[in-house]
Structure 1
Amino acid sequence: MYTFILITRRLWPLCALLACLQLLPAAAAASDTEASAGREYILWYRNFDNPAIRNLVELALRKTPEYGAYRIVRSEELSQGRALRELGNTKSRILDIANVATSEERELFLNAIPVPVDGGLLGFRVCLVLPENLSRFDGITSLDDMRKRGISIGQGAHWPDTPILEANGLSVITHTRYEILFGMLRNRRFDCFARGVSEVMFDLQHNKADDLAIEPNILLAYAMPSYLFVSPSDHETAQRLELGLERAILDGSFAVYLRNWFGNAVASLGLDRRSVITLENPYLSEDSGYVGRHTLENLKRRVELLTVEQ
């Protein structure tokens, strides 16, 4: 067992979290009938369909039995932009929890649980490409090389990656639906579908993308922690998730989760053999910027920890 702790400076100490539990308003307590049925948490469908994220939410809820029974259900299919708008609407109950990459804007209008759900891997990106286009990437080792080759990148219209890539001078083609981007790549609308290290293997397994290839030599790297978010008015769910993750970090189960769900992907993608192309992310809050920089600075150690005993 090893220690793999990623706690931001904003994350409360455990004693403070426990003290907060004593201050929950009486109105938040469920009736006996509601308690026996359990709280229903509506998880954004993209996260629900991803077993790694669904298991992390399950881990956090399981670590906090004092909040009562629970059930995780799948939301309706919403684009990321609409999902976040609904989450920010305090009168909406279309969904309760979403995991997305953070930005300063998102942390202002949503309630963030500031623990990187994948250990910071979302900001490490590889290119999903057409096999016949692999030669376009030969010899690329820098951001300037990518610009000179005119490499275009596909991303979601509402993803925070899009302005990051554009701010670094790269051409970005977008669509509001994640699923559509695979077809756009096949139709040569762009050259590289940049996918997170923690995402790309899931893509190949579950999105019928076995006709596509993972470019083997480049790793795009930028500070972009991925958090769980809840409604700004749903303080109880935020407290439960944060406490659950804090307990999982302290007892080592979060480290086990990271290794089990992402260790094979990190090892199979050969991150230690790739040319790392570092991009600036000007859109993070001070605290998330600190977390992101720490992640970038410790890439080698992170890879070693995640691939141990694989």
Structure 2
Amino acid sequence: MRTWFILLLLFLVATSVKSFAATPVIYAWPKNLATDERGDYPVALLKLALEKSGADYQAVPSASVMTQHRTLRQVSTAQGLDVLWTMTTPEREQQLRPIRIPIDRGLLGWRLFVIQPERANQFARLPNQAQLQKLMAVQGSDWPDFPVLQANQFKVLGSGDFEGMFRMVKSARIDFFPRSVTEIWPELSQREALGLAVAPKWVLHYTAPLYFFVQKDNEELASAIERGLWKAIEDGSMQELFLHSFGPALDKAALSERTVIELVNPLLPKETPLDNPLLWFDPAKGY
């Protein structure tokens, strides 16, 4: 009995020392957003990648909510944030170090529309892209999606108020609010009182890699995350997490049955790994 107790004590001490010694990796998703489902998958994938990297890191949430612009600055200057996930642009790849594995397999670029439910028939009857482009959309003024829509001749209003964009739809100040297939249903569920809906028929698509980014000089952390992601791809654990997180939304979206409007992303860096089909979702091939 005494030997068993000593072994248990040594195990607990070793575990505590390891936990204490682990290097914290502060990611840009604070604790007070724990009920926001949009962060579930990237946080889980970051933890999975760090675990599979073999490095001694511990993922830790940030302390407060920040604007996208401030979050990018905090990571680039190593001021309290170590990693974030965001859609890439050439500017962001110059300021930060990207891990060029699209963490959601490109789902960020599959965009459905938040609309007023009474306008569903109007959207279903729109005959073509030209008619859709006559309507007014809204996007975050500092999001890469804003210039993407502009470059493809969509009428789009920029806003810095995320909650306000949903209210603009409700009040008919704008006609539709494009959101990714991974975001739209959790966001509407959290704002059920607004009574908004997902438009039928249409889906926008543009290549929109969502990467993990770290500080430019943090090669060690970038290498660990990349190594862990590739291991998760090779052993199937990333695909398992992807299906668990997004399978229901993809079934509901039925992308292969919608009219796809292919858009050009003028901000797409030339280093984007477009030639590896393992990294990208294709609705024609299933998950």
Band the TM-score falls in, shorter-chain normalisation = 0.7 to 0.9
Q: In terms of mean alpha carbon deviation, does 262-271 or 203-212 score higher?
A: 203-212
Name the SS for the 1:116 alignment partner.
coil
- Equivalences for residues 52-201 of structure 1 within 5 A: 52-64=41-53, 66-90=54-78, 92-93=79-80, 95-140=81-126, 142-147=128-133, 150-201=134-185
Where structure 1 has 5 or more consecutive residues not aligned to the other structure, the ranges are 1-31, 306-310
Instruction: Say if 1:57 and 1:209 are closer, same or farther in 2 by CA, change over 3 A.
Output: farther
Normalised TM-score (structure 2)? 0.84
Amino acid at match of 1:236: E
CA-CA distance at 1:260 after TM superposition? 0.9
Amino acid at match of 1:232: K
**Of residues 268, 276, 281 in structure 2, which corresponds to 1:284?**
268
Instruction: Say if 1:289 and 1:160 are closer, same or farther in 2 by CA, change over 3 A.
Output: farther
Q: What does residue 267 of structure 1 align with?
A: 251
Name the SS for the 2:125 alignment partner.
coil
Q: What does residue 17 of structure 1 align with?
A: none
Q: For residues 272 and 252 of structure 1, what CA distance do their matches in structure 2 show? A: 24
Amino acid at match of 2:221: T
Name the SS for the 1:290 alignment partner.
coil
Q: For residues 293 and 96 of structure 1, what CA distance do their matches in structure 2 show? A: 29
Q: In terms of mean alpha carbon deviation, does 105-114 or 81-90 score higher?
A: 81-90
Contact 2:115-2:197 within 8 A present in 1 as well: yes
Tell me the number of residue pairs that the alignment of Structure 1 and Structure 2 aligns: 267
Identity of aligned residues (%): 30
Q: For residues 186 and 151 of structure 2, what CA distance do their matches in structure 1 show? A: 28
Where structure 2 has 5 or more consecutive residues not aligned to the other structure, the ranges are 1-15
| Pair 1:202-2:172 in alignment | no
Q: In terms of mean alpha carbon deviation, does 178-187 or 221-230 score higher?
A: 178-187
Amino acid at match of 1:62: E
CA-CA distance at 1:285 after TM superposition? 1.0
Contact 1:223-1:292 within 8 A present in 2 as well: no
Contact 2:100-2:273 within 8 A present in 1 as well: no
Q: For residues 154 and 71 of structure 1, what CA distance do their matches in structure 2 show? A: 34
